Amino acid sequence: MRSRPVSFRPGGRVPSRALVLLALLAVPVGAGAQQGVPADSALLLALRRTNPELAARRAAAVAAEARLLATGFAPPLVLSAEAEEVPDGVNLAGAALRLGVEKEFLSGGRRSAERALAATDVRTASAALLATEQRLLAEAARAALRIAGGTRIARRLAAEDSLLVGAEGALRVRFSVGEARYVDVLRLRTERLRIQSERAEALTLAASGRRTLETLLAPAPDTLVERLVRTAADPLAGDTLPSAPDPDTLLARSGAVALADAAVERSRAARALVVAGQRPRVSASAGLQKFDGEGGAGFGPTLGASISLPSTAARANRTALAASEAQVGAAEAERTATVAALRGALLAVRDRYEAARARLALFDAALLRGARQEREAALAAYGSGDLSLVELLDFERALARAEIQRVRARIEAADALAELLSSAAGNAGGETSTFRLPSDDDR
């Protein structure tokens, strides 16, 4: 689908392409999901290409994989040399010499435990990459919403100001012939000042969103930013919003939960390594020895073996194992707390989204279209004297308020979906949306 620039027109659709971006919630976006990304995920693809934080996370994941490949090898051989009974303390030629090679056996269990521990670092890095992608996608979606929402509100207010400009021309004519009061002139100018102030606020919001998006995509060319803004602002068909994603599904795909799972796995792998390290270590050696005999110097083989005695450090072993088990318990408790907090946050944000859907359903699109078609007729009626200035201002203000409320319902719903993604990344409340539309009190 070709993207279209943001434009406001009577009966137009509210910019909510960010809702489509958030359909990525149903698709894992971790390292294993680099292939087969849907076409609507242009924003996510741009983040993967340009965002420095994601690049750092990917580098950390590559480093963890490299450490895993370098872990679990058998220890090297140990070459040893000894000299005994050295004549005069310096005559090595007359000393008894021993040269040997030592190797440790039965170390496979400990090496496997080391590999398992290193593998949890890989899973942790992958989970951190997933959580970062989810969080940055939510931030980028919010920025796109600020741009699209601020631009749309500014254009609606500009349309309102344009109508009042026409009314001001008619008012001047009537004032010049004594058919209008000066207070009407002041009232109209005050109304235009209010509209211009709200429009400036909306444009500032859009500029803030653009700066955030440029920062997230740095160093991205301006053409890429413009294309993504147009894509995010492309209207969503229909006058209804889709159902909210299932919180349990989001929870299962959450980067924060994946990080908590990885922490549990790491603590268990660390405990297994402690257990493996407390097993006896068996080493064997073989070598050659030079010694003095009755017929002169002689040579002969040497064989040796050694075994560690972990029972001699029973107290240290018990405390080390207890510490590792306590760490497992702490990690499991932290995971339980993370899941509970995320579930509550996801349910709360879903309620926000459903409330926005309910507000949107209250608007009658046919009534709004009919009211828009009456705008020019109202202006003409004012010009002919059939409609007072107060009535014209009330009509236009009520129409603008209804349209802006309709926009707000869509934007708040899309922002709630963005917060769902942010919450799934474990950042609920960490980055609150600064998106603000003119409220009814402001108007």
Instruction: Give the CATH number of the domain where residue 419 resides.
Output: 1.20.1600.10
Given a contact cutoff of 8 angstroms between Cβ atoms, the answer to whether 217 and 47 are in contact is yes
Query: What's the CA gap between 205 and 358, in Å, rounded?
Result: 26
Residue 12, in any domain of the structure: no
Given a contact cutoff of 8 angstroms between Cβ atoms, the answer to whether 437 and 408 are in contact is yes
Residue 189, in any domain of the structure: yes
Report which of 82, 384, 124 is spatially closest to residue 269, judged by C-alpha positions.
124
Query: What's the CA gap between 200 and 400, in Å, rounded?
Result: 16
Report which of 270, 321, 285 is spatially closest to residue 105, judged by C-alpha positions.
285
How many independent structural domains does the chain possess? Answer: 1
Residue 434, in any domain of the structure: no
Query: What's the CA gap between 90 and 308, in Å, rounded?
Result: 34
Range of the domain at 397: 17-424
Supply the pLDDT for residue 69: 94
- What stretch of H or E contains 288? strand 282-293
DSSP track, 401-429: HHHHHHHHHHHHHHHHHHHHHHHHTT-TT
Residue 429, in any domain of the structure: no
**Residue 15: DSSP 8-state:** B
pTM, to two decimals = 0.71
Residue 433, in any domain of the structure: no
Detail the DSSP E strand segments found in 5-140.
Answer: 78-84, 96-105
Residue 441, in any domain of the structure: no
Rg (CA), the chain: 36
Quick one: angle between helices 108-176 and 255-277, nearest 10?
160
Residue 246, in any domain of the structure: yes
Output the tens digit of pLDDT for each of the chain's 443 residues.
333 333 333 333 333 333 333 333 333 333 333 333 333 477 888 888 889 999 999 999 999 999 999 998 888 899 888 777 666 666 666 667 788 899 888 777 888 999 999 999 999 999 999 888 888 888 888 888 788 888 888 888 898 888 888 777 777 777 777 766 777 778 888 888 988 998 999 899 889 888 888 888 877 677 777 777 776 655 433 456 677 778 888 888 888 899 999 999 999 999 999 999 888 988 898 888 877 766 666 777 888 888 889 889 999 999 999 999 999 999 999 999 999 988 998 888 888 888 877 877 777 665 666 666 676 677 677 667 777 777 777 777 877 887 777 777 777 777 777 777 777 776 533 333 433 444 444 44
Q: Which residue has the tokens 């009626």?
A: 381
Residue 436, in any domain of the structure: no
What token pair was written down for 411?
A: 């934007």
Q: Taking the CA atoms of 238, 240, 242 and 244 in sequence, report the sign of the dihedral they define.
A: positive
Supply the pLDDT for residue 426: 66
Query: What's the CA gap between 142 and 188, in Å, rounded?
Result: 35
Quick one: angle between helices 42-50 and 108-176, nearest 10?
120
Total count of residues recorded for the chain: 443
